[in-house]
Structure 1
Amino acid sequence: MSLSLLTPLGHSNVAELIARRTLTAVFQPIVNFDGGTILGYEGLIRGPAGSALEAPGALFAQAAREGLSVALEHAAARTCVAAFASLGCEGKLFLNFSAEALVALGETRDRTVAWLNEHGLGVDRVVLELTEQCQIADVARFVTAVGALRESGIQFALDDYGTANASMNLWVRLQPDVVKIDRFFIDDIANDPLKFEAVRAMQHFAGASGARLVAEGIENAADLIVVRDMGIALGQGFFIGRPDARASREFAQGAREALDAGHIAVFPGATRTPVAASPSGGMAAAKMIVAAPAVPKSATNNDVLELFNRLPNLHAVAVVEHERPLALINRRSFMDRYALPYHRELFGKRPCMLFANASPVIIEKSMTVEQMAKLLASDDQRYLADGFVITDEERYVGLGTGESLVRAVTEVRIEAARYANPLTFLPGNIPISSHIARLVEHRAEFYACYVDLNHFKPFNDRYGYWQGDEVLKFAAAVLADVCDPTRDFLGHVGGDDFLVLFQSDDWLERAMRALRAVDTGALRFYADEDRAAGGIHGEDRRGNPAFFSFVTMAIGCVRVSPDTRGGLPYGSEEIASVAALAKHRAKQEASGFFVIDLDEGAAQLHLHEAPGAAMPQRASALS
């Protein structure tokens, strides 16, 4: 930007590139999902084509070696601004800067603003991105410089949030207008419930701070649709548009089609196991850290004894070297040994590693309950008595106890039972209702299919609940197999009742495939003599002897459209009740299948619920 900001040029490669103006700019679009318009472009720099310094990583690494990092950043910004202005682009221009380079800009603000105006680029169209290499040496000076630039009308963005130095601390200090979520959290977010929850947490803070979020690194349609449906307004990535010297006015057709997709994303975690789907199944290890001093490898047993005597509640002590944990000394076993005759005299001055467990259980503080629960099933149960070491990127931060681990896993599993069926691990009533509400809110067209197993109770009575559970798991697996995990939501209401919320265009073929698979596959759960007889003998609901044919599937479907009831939305309970009515009708059909429009089904329900009317045999789907 301001020429006065350049470091004096020498005869190095980067200095010559700057002097000869052989740097080139490319621009990657940043799209506003609401309306599918291009908000602006991120300006990126490239070295001479075909040279060793063409790639930005190599270029900036060489500049760092030559002490020209700030000079290169400013030269790159000037190149991007000049190219952007010459192309006549509309929208905002995002430019990358380190903290040091931003300070230099702020201290020459008036010249920088004047230079921008000379190129016909108003300050209101410039967004300065603070990159992840943003260690701030002088915070006060940095804040002053940012304040000066912000007074001129320039906006700020925090780049690559969630990695390196881009932390919440910096978010609070900078109070950015825009926060760009690092590509690590966006890549495969459609299939990763932890990334999804991390981004949702960023959304909450963005809402409180007033910042707009940009999802970086969008590489496929599934991730784009999830990000769109989460309510993140802006996105960037190769799937949307690659960096281009011409600053394309249109973004990729595939991204346009994904943004226009009528279906609503099934959020990741909706069909995971209870721990993963639980709202508190996040970073559990960090919550159970016990702040505890550590001893160096050079410490003696007397040093450990003094520490235990001084801190009577300390259950163990870690042995560390260069901040890395090496071993763990359990208080009880250590004190029991010291109580033996002459042990203090013999071993007091010996190295503490003598009585240490040199292979303790070590976990990262970012571990989830789901990951930590695997310890409970492991053969090594020493952590229950010794506790375990908690690290942050392999550096010692504290200890954890076996008791706290068991308590955390138990609490999460109890809570998760409200959200997932413990037999099939499919979403239960709360997430089913939540997803129906999301579909209705977004005015999506979908088919709510209530699934029930015919003759399941007689089978369960004859073969026992253990074999009955196997049939239920088989039915759940069949339904999961016919669902598109990005479009269709599968939930387990309870017992032999399931609910599928289809958005797939070929939903009917999928439903028919499930019917055929269960009707034929259920036969393998019967004994040979029962298969030969065509069914089993048992008792009906009144206790009378009866003969029952094989377990089959019944599916009652309700078409839910934005045009139903004059455009007024139905609630989750109404939709579920109509689906239950459709299921009742399906059980009476020879095909095991019945479909009805929501308006028609709701009218039938209201008719039967009128005073004096006979109620159909149905159950509330989400009771």
Structure 2
Amino acid sequence: MRQSEQPALRPTRNPNGPTSHLDELHALVDERALEFAFQPIADVSHASVYGYEALMRGPAGSRLRSPDEILRAARAAGRLAELERIACLTAIDAFARQRLKGKLFLNLSAPLIEHFARDNGAELVGRAEAAGIAPVRLVLELTEHERVEDVDGLHAAMTTLCAAGITLALDDFGDGRSSLRLWVQLRPQIVKLDKFFVQGLDSDIRKVEVIRGVLRLAEVLGTPLVAEGIEDPVQLAVLRDLGCHYAQGYCLGRPAQFPEPGLLPAALAVLRSDKVSVLPASSPQPRFDHSVDRLRVAAPSVVPQTASSELMRLFIANPDLHAIGVVDRDRPVGLVNRRDFIEAYAQPYHRELYGKRPVAEFMNADPLCAERSAPLQSLVNVLAGEDQRYLQDGFIVTDEGRYAGVATGESLVRAVTELRIEAARHANPLTLLPGNIPVTEHIGRLLDARVPFAACYFDLNNFKPYNDLYGYWRGDEMIKLAAKLVLAHSDRKHDFVGHVGGDDFVVLFQSEDWAARCRAIVHEFNRDAHALFDTRELESGGFNSEDRRGFAAFFPLTTIAVGQVHVVSGQFRDAEDVASAAAEAKKIAKRSRTGIHLAPTAQVIPRLHVVRS
């Protein structure tokens, strides 16, 4: 419940009986007819129930069944604060009657927390002790729709209640109202992370990094974190591996008036599992030198009225300068390309005829201008555009619209190419599967967790001659077929699929039936790849193309090979060792008749369950 009002006199009730939402509200409050559902909060490291959050409900069949409707009616009736107080005390009684274990989380606004502190917590503590609940089991969740105006007053109130053993939790951190400032000033014992950051967590690396950052902050401030809104076991596995302390959501248990004493089986399976979760692929981290400014060359400028002969002297004095900007009141109005200008100037009689003419007659009056702070990626479209003049002339670099220098088209091509190569190391541009860097990161996580896994290296046989014969379009289709089948036979919860080269794939299997999955991939690819050959090649059982030395040769139909290394604790030093061993296994597979080399399963070393971060 959330409110910012103090208890008020209630309006006169309709004498003809409860016929409106307001009448039902008055009856609900006066008769203490509220009901409660309790949703479990899990202790992640112990795979157990840490406590329950009390969620207010109206009577079944009532128009005020929904908590939102109750709050709306209470606000209209001026009884919001009174409702909140009664709900808090009634929830304690309902929780005690069920003899539920663990903490009881109660949603309270700042004014009501201050209200309970006025008698040093006597009313709240007395109600809990009368119900047989120790005050240390109470957790007050600060929930606010409005800003907390008197943070110092709230902090003083919480200090009073904490002295009685009551815990303060900050709810919905990150939603814009529960701010970092409140976290630091109020010093809560628990912080609940808004469900926005959990939804889609398993497919959004940005949310993973946000939660990592919040967990680091929680460690610094000494505050355990509750992740709310977990609806999928995959999300729970990611949060477990990130080191989240507590978790809440439908995946662990739905709100119920009579909740089960433990967590749901699917959640328990995740929390007790040794398997490492598969995080979304990382993306290249933006760097400060990835802006247009890294291409900028400091260069002199001229005004439109400058004589051509003076411009020629500037080019001679600056032999490395490819172009000079033309400016009017520091604003660029044109660009003169060195090569074009000098070639024209060298023509017979040009100096005599045009030496005194203004440079405005020779400039490109529509130059490309780019802000020095703009990301390089913003200029990618220039390379693909129809007007390639910019690649020859270069472009002008500005600083808040003012002339700051020039840049060459060659430097732009080189910088964008570097960015694309770096991006491909994170995600393959054809299949969008994780590249070398995410694969290396995941191997590191598996090694750190000391869990057994199978590193499988897939490679296409005779792919280059196939690509030379049929062209890149059909070659891409062959690669996409391989990607589709590898993904289809991998478990996204446990198996990490990476695309580390043109036709090379790495799968880090935690699925116990990895060998059967590998055989299925090889069988289905070798069958389905026939659809990418012409009839003549299929009838011949192969095709003619050039080998790596450029000589004509006959090649069997393209197939896929897989080499595997089974990794157990302590077997390899780092990710590079695992990758090298898998590559060697792949070479053996490519030479084998079946195209499969599966190493025997190594003995698994028993280990204790560890919390991964």
Tell me if 1:234 matches 2:241: no
Tell me if 1:93 matches 2:96: no
Paired position in structure 1 for 2:567: 560
Paired position in structure 2 for 1:578: 581
Report the TM-score when normalising by structure 2.
0.69
Paired position in structure 2 for 1:287: none
Most deviating of 61-70 and 418-427: 418-427
Tell me if 1:102 matches 2:113: yes
Report the TM-score when normalising by structure 1.
0.68
Q: Tell me by how many angstroms 1:32 deviates.
A: 0.8
1:598 and 1:436 map into 2 onto residues whose CA distance is 18
Which of 220, 235, 260 is the aligned partner of 1:248? 260
SS across alignment from 2:275 = coil
SS across alignment from 2:508 = strand
Decide whether aligned partners of structure 1 residues 471 and 246 sit closer, same or farther in structure 2, where only a CA change above 3 A counts: closer
- The code of the aligned residue for 1:259 comes to L
Residues 422-463 of structure 1, C-alpha deviations (whole Å, 9 max, x = no match):
443322222111111222333333221111111223334445
Which of 125, 139, 146 is the aligned partner of 2:137? 125
Q: Tell me by how many angstroms 1:117 deviates.
A: 3.5
Contact 2:40 2:248 (8 Å CA) reproduced: yes
Q: Tell me by how many angstroms 1:97 deviates.
A: 0.8
- The code of the aligned residue for 2:594 comes to S
Tell me if 1:167 matches 2:192: no
Tell me if 1:79 matches 2:99: no
**Aligned pairs for 1:374-523 within 5 A:** 415-463=422-470, 468-523=475-530
- The code of the aligned residue for 1:434 comes to E
Q: Tell me by how many angstroms 1:580 deviates.
A: 1.7
Decide whether aligned partners of structure 1 residues 456 and 259 sit closer, same or farther in structure 2, where only a CA change above 3 A counts: same
**Aligned pairs for 1:303-314 within 5 A:** none
Tell me if 1:32 matches 2:43: yes
SS across alignment from 2:425 = coil
Paired position in structure 1 for 2:62: 51
- The code of the aligned residue for 2:40 comes to P
Contact 1:454 1:552 (8 Å CA) reproduced: yes
Q: Report how many residues are paired.
A: 485
Contact 2:172 2:192 (8 Å CA) reproduced: yes
Paired position in structure 1 for 2:169: 157
2:428 and 2:251 map into 1 onto residues whose CA distance is 36
Q: Tell me by how many angstroms 1:187 deviates.
A: 2.8
Contact 2:104 2:138 (8 Å CA) reproduced: yes
Contact 1:77 1:95 (8 Å CA) reproduced: yes
The Cα RMSD (Å) is 3.9
Q: Tell me by how many angstroms 1:552 deviates.
A: 1.1
SS across alignment from 1:448 = strand
Decide whether aligned partners of structure 1 residues 179 and 409 sit closer, same or farther in structure 2, where only a CA change above 3 A counts: farther
List gaps (5 residues or longer) in structure 1.
271-276, 285-331, 337-367, 388-402, 601-623
- The code of the aligned residue for 1:55 comes to S
Contact 1:478 1:514 (8 Å CA) reproduced: yes
Contact 2:10 2:77 (8 Å CA) reproduced: no
Contact 2:58 2:66 (8 Å CA) reproduced: yes
Residues 261-310 of structure 1, C-alpha deviations (whole Å, 9 max, x = no match):
4432211246xxxxxx33459xx9xxxxxxxxxxxxxxxxxxxxxxxxxx
Paired position in structure 2 for 1:64: 75
Paired position in structure 2 for 1:183: 195
1:11 and 1:71 map into 2 onto residues whose CA distance is 16
Which of 216, 240, 246 is the aligned partner of 2:228? 216
- The code of the aligned residue for 1:555 comes to V
Residues 101-143 of structure 1, C-alpha deviations (whole Å, 9 max, x = no match):
2222233324245423444433322211011424213333223
Q: Tell me by how many angstroms 1:94 deviates.
A: 0.8
Contact 1:493 1:499 (8 Å CA) reproduced: yes
1:247 and 1:256 map into 2 onto residues whose CA distance is 16
- The code of the aligned residue for 2:558 comes to V
Q: Tell me by how many angstroms 1:96 deviates.
A: 0.4
Residues 454-490 of structure 1, C-alpha deviations (whole Å, 9 max, x = no match):
1223334445566544433432333233323222211
Decide whether aligned partners of structure 1 residues 561 and 177 sit closer, same or farther in structure 2, where only a CA change above 3 A counts: same
Q: Tell me by how many angstroms 1:524 deviates.
A: 4.3
- The code of the aligned residue for 2:524 comes to A
Tell me if 1:596 matches 2:599: yes
- The code of the aligned residue for 1:475 comes to A
Contact 2:572 2:578 (8 Å CA) reproduced: no
- The code of the aligned residue for 2:596 comes to F
SS across alignment from 2:591 = coil
Decide whether aligned partners of structure 1 residues 168 and 416 sit closer, same or farther in structure 2, where only a CA change above 3 A counts: farther
- The code of the aligned residue for 1:420 comes to A
2:556 and 2:115 map into 1 onto residues whose CA distance is 82
Q: Tell me by how many angstroms 1:416 deviates.
A: 2.7
- The code of the aligned residue for 2:427 comes to A
Q: Tell me by how many angstroms 1:79 deviates.
A: 0.6
Which of 278, 289, 296 is the aligned partner of 2:284? 278
Decide whether aligned partners of structure 1 residues 482 and 8 sit closer, same or farther in structure 2, where only a CA change above 3 A counts: same
Contact 2:274 2:451 (8 Å CA) reproduced: yes
Residues 54-78 of structure 1, C-alpha deviations (whole Å, 9 max, x = no match):
2211111111111222211111110
Decide whether aligned partners of structure 1 residues 146 and 161 sit closer, same or farther in structure 2, where only a CA change above 3 A counts: same
1:167 and 1:375 map into 2 onto residues whose CA distance is 42
Q: Tell me by how many angstroms 1:335 deviates.
A: 13
1:150 and 1:512 map into 2 onto residues whose CA distance is 61
- The code of the aligned residue for 2:96 comes to A
Contact 1:30 1:38 (8 Å CA) reproduced: yes
**Aligned pairs for 1:191-210 within 5 A:** 191-210=203-222
Decide whether aligned partners of structure 1 residues 411 and 149 sit closer, same or farther in structure 2, where only a CA change above 3 A counts: farther
Residues 542-583 of structure 1, C-alpha deviations (whole Å, 9 max, x = no match):
676642212111001222345xx5xx6653222222212221
1:214 and 1:372 map into 2 onto residues whose CA distance is 43
SS across alignment from 2:122 = helix
Paired position in structure 2 for 1:308: none
Contact 1:578 1:598 (8 Å CA) reproduced: no
1:58 and 1:410 map into 2 onto residues whose CA distance is 57
Decide whether aligned partners of structure 1 residues 18 and 524 sit closer, same or farther in structure 2, where only a CA change above 3 A counts: closer
SS across alignment from 1:109 = coil
Residues 224-281 of structure 1, C-alpha deviations (whole Å, 9 max, x = no match):
22222222121112222222333432222232233334432211246xxxxxx33459
Contact 1:488 1:504 (8 Å CA) reproduced: yes
- The code of the aligned residue for 1:441 comes to D
Contact 2:428 2:435 (8 Å CA) reproduced: yes
1:158 and 1:374 map into 2 onto residues whose CA distance is 46
Decide whether aligned partners of structure 1 residues 52 and 484 sit closer, same or farther in structure 2, where only a CA change above 3 A counts: same
1:213 and 1:375 map into 2 onto residues whose CA distance is 46
**Aligned-pair identity (%):** 39
1:442 and 1:127 map into 2 onto residues whose CA distance is 33
Contact 1:183 1:215 (8 Å CA) reproduced: yes
Decide whether aligned partners of structure 1 residues 71 and 436 sit closer, same or farther in structure 2, where only a CA change above 3 A counts: same
Decide whether aligned partners of structure 1 residues 518 and 529 sit closer, same or farther in structure 2, where only a CA change above 3 A counts: same
Contact 1:26 1:80 (8 Å CA) reproduced: no
1:124 and 1:511 map into 2 onto residues whose CA distance is 54
SS across alignment from 2:158 = helix
Paired position in structure 2 for 1:400: none
Contact 1:106 1:145 (8 Å CA) reproduced: yes
Decide whether aligned partners of structure 1 residues 460 and 170 sit closer, same or farther in structure 2, where only a CA change above 3 A counts: same
Residues 19-40 of structure 1, C-alpha deviations (whole Å, 9 max, x = no match):
3222223321111122211111
SS across alignment from 2:588 = helix
2:186 and 2:215 map into 1 onto residues whose CA distance is 17
**Structure number with larger C-alpha Rg:** 2
Contact 2:121 2:160 (8 Å CA) reproduced: no
- The code of the aligned residue for 1:128 comes to L
Decide whether aligned partners of structure 1 residues 374 and 261 sit closer, same or farther in structure 2, where only a CA change above 3 A counts: farther
